[in-house]
Amino acid sequence: MHLTRLRLHDFRCFEAAEIQPEPTINVITGDNASGKTTLLEAIYFLGRGQSFRQSGPRPAIRAGADAFTVTGEIAVPDGRAHRLGVSRDKRGIRYRKDGEADTSRIDLINTLPLQMVDPNVHRLLEQGPRYRRHFLDWGVFHVEHAFFPAWRRFRRALKQRNRALKARLPKPDIIVWDAELVRAAEIVDASRRAYIDHLYENLPSRTARLLGNEPVILDYDCGWRGDHGYGAALAAGLDQDLRAGFTQQGPHRADLRVSIASASARDWVSRGQQKILTTAMLLTQAQLLYVRRHVRPVLLIDDMAAELGRRYREVLAEEIAALGGQCFLTFLEPGLVPEAVRGGAMFHVEHGVVTRG
């Protein structure tokens, strides 16, 4: 599965642009503010239905224009092709798959699985559990098929329970949601645990190649306390939940901490090593998706050279190339492009104009 054509219309600095990427490596070079990250962002919109930048989709409309459109053609291994489109105007955002207007974000996510490595990837280690949960659940979503329906059920029941807590309803009106929460949480938790086991089997060999033999430890926190299951944790935490006005424990509070040897990764490793470690985690996820579902996700790797010296750039590029899927990598200058990814297509961006080298 890979992108065969990408078209942008009034998307940030691009008035109109089109590229026909290669199924494997695509390198994008260009000066600061030329539009490199924007090209990756456009692809990300196609596969995720939203931006990875904090600001949301509206600012992505080119200054002076009323709407942006991003369209992509996707080739799937069985020979079929799909067209995906995302557009945003004053009324909101719209998704299309093969011309169908009732396309959802989940349709996009399933049609174009993609993973992003941006220059802030180390925040996976440094910042709160939300990023790590997001990382974990991306993999769980694509690989463990029981996960998403259960997660959706859990979110719905959680919303109801929180509403009841906030309104300070009598206890029976709050705990009436617990059975559904517990049923859904058990599936979510089991899916995450199964996925982490696979991650554990595959991550150490990759980190060993990249970082040396310091053991990497993944420490999963399911999001609730005690050894008697989620139902017991909910019952024990009810008074606290009433005081807080929301449900404090559950799979929505899960975490996946990463450490090297005995120290937490963010205390131990340098910034460059953090980047290598987190990128290794993302690449392992991509590999797992192929091993388990025969899907190679598209990788978007922004400013790969940032904070990495030549040696690290080279080993990382070798790992990326070895995955064999479609990848888009950006660099400020051609001189920074590692040997292992020089064989692919080269694109150059200048003031919102892309040319193929």
Ligand X SMILES: Nc1ncnc2c1ncn2[C@@H]1O[C@H](COP(=O)(O)OP(=O)(O)OP(=O)(O)O)[C@@H](O)[C@H]1O
- By CB under 5 A, name the binding residues for Mg ion: 37
CA dist 123 and 347 (Å) reads 29
The dihedrals phi and psi of 278, each to the nearest 5 degrees, come to -70, -35
Residue 250 near which of Mg ion, ligand X, none (CB within 5-8 Å, type-dependent): none
Q: Of the candidates 34, 38, 118, which has an alpha carbon nearest to the alpha carbon of residue 307?
A: 118
Q: Of the candidates 317, 264, 14, 272, which has an alpha carbon nearest to the alpha carbon of residue 119?
A: 272
Amino acid at 186: E
Cβ 120 to ligand X shortest distance, Å: 12
Which one of residues 3, 8, 27, 30 is an interface residue with ligand X (CB under 6 A)?
30
Residue 169 near which of ligand X, Mg ion, none (CB within 5-8 Å, type-dependent): none
Residue whose pair of structure tokens reads 């400020």 in the numeric block? 332
Which one of residues 56, 59, 149, 226 is an interface residue with ligand X (CB under 6 A)?
59
**Does the footprint of ligand X cover residue 62 (CB under 6 A)?**
yes
Amino acid at 120: N
Residue whose pair of structure tokens reads 């959680």 in the numeric block? 158
Q: Which of 55-63, 132-140, 185-193, 213-221 is the region at the interface with ligand X (rule: CB under 6 A)?
A: 55-63
Residue 35 near which of Mg ion, ligand X, none (CB within 5-8 Å, type-dependent): ligand X
**Does the footprint of ligand X cover residue 32 (CB under 6 A)?**
yes
Query: 240: exposed, middle or buried (C-beta count within 10 Å: 0-12, 13-18, 19+)?
Result: exposed
Q: Which of 27-35, 105-113, 167-175, 267-275 is the region at the interface with ligand X (rule: CB under 6 A)?
A: 27-35
Tell me the DSSP string of 287-318: HHHHHHHS---EEEETTTTTT--HHHHHHHHH
**Does the footprint of ligand X cover residue 16 (CB under 6 A)?**
no
Cβ contact 356:347 at 8 Å: yes
Residue 33 near which of Mg ion, ligand X, none (CB within 5-8 Å, type-dependent): ligand X
CA dist 352 and 248 (Å) reads 46
Comparison of 126 and 333: residue with beta carbon closer to ligand X: 333
Comparison of 64 and 128: residue with beta carbon closer to ligand X: 64
CA dist 110 and 74 (Å) reads 12
Comparison of 233 and 300: residue with beta carbon closer to Mg ion: 300
Comparison of 266 and 275: residue with beta carbon closer to ligand X: 275
Q: Which of 54-62, 149-157, 264-272, 287-295 is the region at the interface with ligand X (rule: CB under 6 A)?
A: 54-62
